[in-house]
Amino acid sequence: MTVESFLSLLGEEVVNVYEESILLFSTVPSSRNLGFLDSSASSISVTAAGQDLTIYQSPTLLSSTRRGGTTGAVLWKITPIFAEWICDKHNILFAHGVLTTSSSVLELGGGSAAVLALTLGTRVGKYYHSDQEYVMKLAQKNLGENLPETIKSPSKRRGKVTKTTGHIPNISTISLDWETDDIRYHPALQAGTLFSAVIACDTIYNEALIKPFVETCIDACSLSRSNTESNIAPAVTIVAQELRSPEVFENWLETFQKAFHTYRIPDDHLIPSLRSTSGYSVHVGILRSGLERS
């Protein structure tokens, strides 16, 4: 299977931002909150991709006036739903070889909950959970409390959980600020790191962060694009989001589309709770030729 065969199942490339917005927002349920699962609880129990997890949060940090945002302090409700979908072995990404047990995946804006690292991270070859420094301590706590004992191992390198037995992958947490850091030269990444996929789950809600977010996606995908080996498949960027504001969505899509060939995963390839009629969307992007930043 190839990325091209996967894309052929998604239908037409998204070319009209406003048509896409109208199509999606015409089915959004009328009663929506911001999207937190339970922003007042210091810990919550969730089941994601068949795993029972206890997730620790920081309501105090969420309500603080910290410069640079605080939304990573709690779990967003789309994340367990997205985890259930993407971790299924019949998922379109695994079924068509876009993701495999040897894939290297970068998550942007993973937050303190680290739910995708705990679920998808145990099904691929290497998983990088990234967000700003302020969430790292709590993310490490959630990884430490929820990973099976067989895959937890102390490490001298800060912010890293490594495998000990079996085929369980390495899961690394890295501090990454889209506005100030360049993923291509990040000190926490090994030389020659290539990503099979870049994932962002519900990071599109602040218009000021759209440009640096897309630039970070470009840079992460450029690592694979710049590799001279012909057998290296292009990285696929997967953006899942709750549909809240048409204006923010259109701003993101217009910016993203300039850099990426963009497709939306059709509802018939999603689980019912993630379909557009539930108020969510999942788009994928392939970096356009010549878009690598110098």
The whole-number average pLDDT for the span 18-25 is: 96
Q: Return the higher-pLDDT residue of 164 and 114.
A: 114
Distance CA(222)–CA(234), nearest Å, equals 9
Other residues' Cβ atoms within 10 Å of the Cβ of residue 67: 6
User: pLDDT confidence of 53, banded at 50, 70, 90?
Assistant: very high
pLDDT of residue 42: 76
Q: What pLDDT does 151 receive?
A: 52
pLDDT score at 76: 82
What does 175-214 look like in DSSP terms, one character per residue? E--TTT--GGG-TTSPTT---SEEEEES----GGGHHHHH
| Cα 209 from Cα 204, distance rounded (Å) | 8
Output the pLDDT for position 16.
97
The beta strands (E) that lie in the chain are given as: 43-48, 51-56, 104-108, 126-131, 160-161, 170-175, 197-201, 236-242, 260-264, 280-287
pLDDT digits (tens, 9 = 90+) for 42-52: 789 999 999 99
What backbone phi and psi angles, to 5 degrees, belong to 133? -60, -30
Q: Over the stretch 140-183, which tens digit does the pLDDT of each residue have?
A: 999 999 987 645 544 444 444 443 333 344 899 999 999 899 98
Q: How many CB atoms neighbour CB 61 within 10 A?
A: 17
The pTM (predicted TM-score) of the whole model is: 0.88
The two structure tokens encoding residue 33:
């909150």
Residues 203-262: pLDDT tens digits?
Answer: 888 899 999 999 999 999 988 665 545 456 789 999 999 998 999 999 999 999 999 999
Q: What is the mean pLDDT of the chain?
A: 83
**pLDDT at position 70:** 58
pLDDT, greater one: 153 or 99:
99
Q: What are phi and psi of 109, to 5 degrees?
A: 65, 40
Instruction: For residue 89, name the pLDDT band (cuts at 50, 70, 90).
Output: confident
pLDDT at position 109 is 92
CATH of domain 3-287: 3.40.50.150
How much is the pLDDT for 184? 85
DSSP 8-state secondary structure symbol assigned to residue 277: G
> SS3 of 174, please?
strand
List, in order, residues 6 or more apart from 208 with CB less than 8 Å away: none
pLDDT score for 270:
96
Q: Give percent of the chain above pLDDT 70.
A: 78
Task: Look at residue 119 in the predicted model and tell me its pLDDT.
Answer: 95
* pLDDT, average across residues 59-87: 74
Contacts of 113 (CB under 8 A, 6+ apart): 55, 57, 74, 75, 79, 139, 142
Q: Compute the average pLDDT of residues 262-283.
A: 95
At 67 the pLDDT is 53
Residue 11 CB contacts under 8 Å (≥ 6 apart), including other chains = 263, 266
- The answer to which of 119-133, 137-151, 182-196, 221-235 has the lowest mean pLDDT is 221-235
Residue 125 has a pLDDT of 92
Instruction: Name the residue ranges covered by the structural domains of the chain.
Output: 3-287
Residue 92 is predicted with a pLDDT of 93
